[in-house]
Structure 1
Amino acid sequence: MIAPLMKQAGRFSETTVDGEVVLLNLDDGAFFSLTGTAAEIWALIDGARNREAVIAELAARHNADHAAVAADLDPFLADLQARGFLAGA
C-alpha cells in the first residue's frame, strides 16, 4: 500500500476565510494562500488518502483525465512539501 499524504503537524498554522485557506509556516513566518482547487486539494490531504486517491477524487469531481490531474497535482504537492507543509509527497 502506498502511504497516505500527511500534513506536517506542528509546522504550520491554518485558517480559512471566505473559502481561502491561509497557512502560516511556523519556521519562517511565511504565509501561503490556497484558493479554488488548491484549497480543495488541501482538504483532501487528510492523512487517509494517498496521491492516487486524491487524483481519483479530483478527476471524478471535475470530470477530468487522471493523467492531466496528476500533471497538475504533482508540482503542487512538491511545492507544499518544499514549504514544509507536507511530511511526504
Structure 2
Amino acid sequence: MSGLLAKRRGAFSETAVDDEIVLLNLDDGTFFSLTGTGAEIWPLIDGTRSRDKLVTVLAAAHGAAVDEVAADLDVFLAQLADAGFIENT
C-alpha cells in the first residue's frame, strides 16, 4: 500500500474493550478483534502515516528488523483493506 493510510470512517463501528479493539463492518456485519500489536497499530492508522512510516515506527518501538516488520505489517494491512476498514488517501 502506498500513500497515506486512513480508516474508512462510516464503514465500521469501533469499540474498545479492555486491551481489545472490536471492529464491526457496517456493510456485512463482520467482526474483527484486534489485540496485541494489531491493537497497537490501529490508532496509528490516522491518515497522517504511510505504510513505510508505520514500518519505521513499529521497528523502532519493538527493536525489530525492518524487513520482518514490513512483511507482518503488509499481511495485517491487506486484511484490514480486504475487510473494508482502511484505504489509501
Gaps spanning 5+ residues in structure 2: where? none
Alignment pair present for 1:51 and 2:55: no
For the aligned residue pairs, the C-alpha RMSD in angstroms reads 1.3
**In structure 1, distance between residues paired with 2:3 and 2:32:** 25
1:3-82 → structure 2 map (5 Å cutoff): 3-82=3-82
Structure 2 counterpart of 1:49, one-letter code: R
TM (normalized to structure 1)? 0.94
Could you list the runs of 4 or more consecutive aligned residues of structure 1 that deviate by over 4 angstroms after TM superposition? none
Instruction: Provide the residue aligned with 1:87 in structure 2.
Output: 87
**In structure 1, distance between residues paired with 2:35 and 2:88:** 22
Asked if the contact 1:11/1:84 (under 8 Å) is kept, the reply is yes
Please identify which structure carries the higher strand content.
Answer: 2
Q: Identity of counterpart residues, as a percentage?
A: 59
Q: Deviations over 1:22-44 (max 9, x none)?
A: 00000011110000000111111
Considering Cα pairs closer than 8 Å and 6+ residues apart, tell me whether 1 or 2 has the greater RCO.
2
TM (normalized to structure 2)? 0.94
Q: Deviations over 1:27-71 (max 9, x none)?
A: 011110000000111111111010011000100100000000001
**In structure 2, distance between residues paired with 1:56 and 1:33:** 24
Asked if the contact 1:80/1:86 (under 8 Å) is kept, the reply is yes
